[in-house]
Each structure stands twice: as structure tokens, then as C-alpha cells.
């Protein structure tokens, strides 16, 4: 899982600081997510999946398909 979020960040030419700002955490905290030193909370996984337009399953390594599942817009988070 950790390599996937790093790979997505690098593929989009982003810095850890960019994602840390989006997630409202420090760059060090985000770095720990990428290195596996810190577990990624569920709400952060959901935010990352929305940010990258992918599924949480892809981030977790359950599937290799990047395209997201159809979203339930009725209950979609406000981010």
C-alpha cells in the first residue's frame, strides 16, 4: 500500500508537502504514511482515493485496476 501512494504522488509530480497540506497533516506525518512507519487512517485513504480518482482497493493493493468504482454521490464526502 505504501509504495502505491508514493508512486501516485511521484506520477503526478507532487511533493509530500502538497499531499500533507491537502490532508491537513505535517510533511513528516505524510512521509511516515509513505514509508509505513505510520498506519494510514481510513479517512485518509478515502481522501487519497478521491484526490487521485482511484479506489481504496487500489491504494491497498487489493486490485491493480486504478479506475475507481462508481461513486455514491448521495453520500459522498464534502472534499
Q: In the chain, where are the structural domains located? A: 2-68
Interatomic CA distance for residues 39 and 35, integer angstroms: 10
Phi/psi of residue 24, each to 5°? 65, 45
Question: CATH code for 2-68?
Answer: 1.10.260.40
| Low-confidence residues of the chain: pLDDT under 70 | 69-79
| Cβ(31)–Cβ(41) below 8 Å | no
For residue 2, what pLDDT is reported? 85
Amino acid at each position: 500500500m505504501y509504495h502505491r501512494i508514493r508512486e501516485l504522488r511521484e506520477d503526478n509530480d507532487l511533493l509530500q508537502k502538497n499531499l500533507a497540506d491537502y490532508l491537513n497533516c505535517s510533511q513528516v506525518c505524510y512521509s511516515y504514511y509513505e514509508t509505513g512507519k505510520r498506519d494510514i487512517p481510513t479517512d485518509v485513504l478515502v481522501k487519497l482515493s478521491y484526490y487521485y480518482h482511484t479506489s481504496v482497493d487500489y491504494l491497498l493493493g487489493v486490485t491493480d485496476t486504478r479506475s475507481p468504482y462508481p461513486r455514491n454521490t448521495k453520500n459522498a464526502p464534502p472534499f
